[in-house]
Structure 1
Amino acid sequence: MSLNHGDSLRSDATVTPEVETVSSLLAHPLLQDPKFVAAAGGLVVLLIFLSLFRSGKKTARRNGPATVLLVGPSDGGKTSLFAKLVQDIYPQTHTSIVPSITTFTLPSPYDDGQSKQIRLVDLPGHPRLRDEVKKYVNEASAVVFVVDIQGIVRNASGVAEQLPPVLTALTNLSLRLPPSAPQPKLLLLAHKTDLLVRPSPPTTQSPPEIPSTTLVTSTDRLKSLLTREMDRLKSARGGSGGKIEGMGKVAGSTSGSWFSRLFGGGSSGGVSVSEGEGEGEEDEALVWGGKGAFRWEDVEGIDIEWAASGLGAVRGEKEKGDVEEGNGLDEVRRFLWEL
């Protein structure tokens, strides 16, 4: 009897939860207010539109020919390289003050009769014009950082200080791309390698034939010097609270929410920043990696490659009877072809 009585008590104590029907939810006073319904519907439509707009914006740069930026210090040979690739001439040039942009046909470097279109952008290396890269990086499939391999020995620190803004821009670009899109590429190019040929530089071809040992030596020299200087910059960054003078701001610990990413904005300490500035500041850490020495493998979101090139003697358009070209641009052309 006591057992049955206990069961009866437990049965009586059981509470059945009340479940509101859909009709009762729809009868909520707020949902009966036309202004509230209109505002909520408008917000949903706006969020959907912005999501689609930003998704379309992410993939827009991949349409058409691949865009390649030529960047780097002044007098590195960017404009001469631009002229040689586009017009097959090597003229005497001077320091550029405005960007040069064109689309040209690149023959296959494998002599198979094929060709492809490349959109090439030559950006000035003057210190006051270096921010031009920010205007074009969102369209870029690759960046070629052109360095005078002779001049870098005297100014390695100055050359290296131009790299972090380029690396940061590319890591930011990589973060904005859809997961299925290829990562942007960076080619660190040891240019004017023909001037290192001994006993004397070649002068009969443009581009010239450069010994493979000289090409390898130039690439190794560039990598060694830039690695050393980037490690120095990383140490300076760690010793100054994460900021290197002249390289832009570095964000604090604030991370963007889903809404801030959707609307393309962000905040740090309550101050609004633009999309380019906010993302650039947040993501500079992706360039430097963790603790320890700087390593190129730690730079996230970028495929980094190394190459060497040379143009030989200054000359105009080809004339009948000109000798066959050498290998001075082979590595550059292969890089462009693989984009």
Structure 2
Amino acid sequence: MSVPQGKVISTDTAATSEVEPISSLLAHPLLQDPKFVAAAGGLVVLLIFLSLFRSGKKTSRRSGPTTVLLVGPSDSGKTSLFAKLVHNSYPQTHTSIQPSITTFPFSSPFSDGQTKPVKLVDLPGHPRLKDELKKYVKEASVVVFVIDVQALVRNSAAVAEEIPPILTALSNLSVTTQTFEPIKVLFLAHKTDLLVRPTPSNDQSPPDLPETSLATAKDRVKSILTREMDKLKSSRGGSGGKIEGMSRVSGSSSGSFFSRLFGSGSANTSVGLGEGDEEIDENLIWGGKGSFDWNDVEGVEISFGASGLGIPSNDNSQKEKEQGNGLDEIKNFIWEV
């Protein structure tokens, strides 16, 4: 029989399904084995439990008041910052030989009347007291590395030598405790008011500093320290340099996905930050090949700021003066933790 042109012959043939029904998947022999089902279920429960356990451990380290560590070389102005932040005074100070610690209500820098508890720890910069860091690093919410911006030009190498032990301790702590957020470090170009010409008015405490001076101070500190850290990386970063006197890491610094997720570490890794530890591995802070980059420091978020306190005074008139922007950047940094 001929088919008229333009007509399409229809058929009742159904397309054969190539998708395996889910019922056949559920009928897989493994899923019919009670032992396999029990083992798989137990593994899922274990993973959920460990995830919740690690989450609780992450938050417990940061419970309580925000803990701020002031670190850096001697005569950089840490004690003056401590006095101004806590007591709103700026007296003449001397080189500290022991930590200053206090917990106080820290006022919001946005003049909204809010406060939050802050534990401020001023650690001495004397080389013989460098091990004081390990007593407080585990509870640190943030670290402020205070630098005399005017003196940095003549002692940049010595200042840079103090940075790897601090960054390495924080990096190892961040990696081994598996905190979701990196530990924040602010490199503070302090005494920026000494760079301003003419000298800022003493009618405000802290003084009001030009934005150009603040930017110049931050750029100076970052460029000088980057150059010095690059030299240190070239001399010891590629060979897995060690730092004595704080803690110890042996073996690889990285582990499997599960070890990094749950903080167990690899079988060949031993990490410690407690008493009796002797050395820690610097590899976590140097990154890969090439020039030093602050973004390569694992588990640590680094930023740069500037500050200035003006002329010190031993009377109480400073508390009555209007406040300039000399401490705005460090106050914002602490408040946003």
TM-score, length basis structure 1: 0.74
Within 5 Å, give how 1:1-339 maps onto structure 2. Answer: 58-179=58-179, 181-238=180-237, 241-243=239-241, 251-253=250-252, 275-276=272-273, 281-282=280-281, 284-316=282-314, 318-319=316-317, 322-339=320-337
Deviations 1:240-269 (A, max 9, x none): x3326768777455877999x98899768x
Find the aligned partners of 2:123 and 2:114 in 1 and give their Cα distance. 28
Find the aligned partners of 2:325 and 2:271 in 1 and give their Cα distance. 45
Secondary structure of residue in 1 paired with 2:141:
strand
Find the aligned partners of 2:223 and 2:107 in 1 and give their Cα distance. 32
Secondary structure of residue in 2 paired with 1:332:
helix
Moved more, 194-203 or 215-224: 194-203
Letter in 1 for 2:161: E
Residues 233 and 244 in structure 1, CA contact (< 8 A), matched pair in contact too: no
Deviations 1:97-131 (A, max 9, x none): 11111111111111112111111000000000012
Letter in 1 for 2:301: D
Find the aligned partners of 1:65 and 1:280 in 2 and give their Cα distance. 30
Find the aligned partners of 1:319 and 1:86 in 2 and give their Cα distance. 16
Give how far 1:147 is off.
0.3
Percent identity among equivalent residues?
60
The count of corresponding residues between Structure 1 and Structure 2 is 288
52 and 279 in structure 1: CA distance in 2 versus 1, 3 angstrom threshold: farther
5+ long unaligned stretches in structure 1: 1-20, 23-49
Find the aligned partners of 1:173 and 1:219 in 2 and give their Cα distance. 27
Give how far 1:162 is off.
0.4
Find the aligned partners of 1:280 and 1:79 in 2 and give their Cα distance. 29
5+ long unaligned stretches in structure 2: 1-33, 36-49
Residues 174 and 183 in structure 2, CA contact (< 8 A), matched pair in contact too: yes
Residues 61 and 138 in structure 2, CA contact (< 8 A), matched pair in contact too: yes
Residues 88 and 318 in structure 2, CA contact (< 8 A), matched pair in contact too: no
Letter in 2 for 1:308: A
Find the aligned partners of 1:214 and 1:262 in 2 and give their Cα distance. 44
Task: Please provide the CA RMSD for this pair.
Answer: 3.4
Give how far 1:275 is off.
2.1
Find the aligned partners of 2:191 and 2:218 in 1 and give their Cα distance. 11
